[in-house]
A and B are shown apart, each in its own frame.
Chain A
Amino acid sequence: ELKVEQNPLFLSMQEGKNYTIYCNYSTTSDRLYWYRQDPGKSLESLFVLLSNGAVKQEGRLMASLDTKARLSTLHITAAVHDLSATYFCAGPTPYNAGGTSYGKLTFGQGTILTVHP
Chain B
Amino acid sequence: DTGVSQDPRHKITKRGQNVTFRCDPISEHNRLYWYRQTLGQGPEFLTYFQNEAQLEKSRLLSDRFSAERPKGSFSTLEIQRTEQGDSAMYLCASSLRQENTEAFFGQGTRLTVV
A residues within 8 Å of B by Cβ? 4, 33, 35, 40-45, 48, 50, 88, 90, 93, 95-97, 101-110
Contacts and interface: CB of A to CB of B under 8 A. Distances in A.
Contacts of A40: 110
Interface secondary structure of A, over-half rule? strand
Interface of B: 31, 33, 40-45, 48, 55-56, 91, 93-95, 99-108, 110
Given A103-B93, A107-B43, A42 B108 contact: yes
Contact of B42 (A90, A97, A104): A90
Contact of A43 (B44, B95, B101, B105): B105
A97 B55 contact: yes
Given A42-B91, A42-B105, A102-B101, A107 B56 contact: no
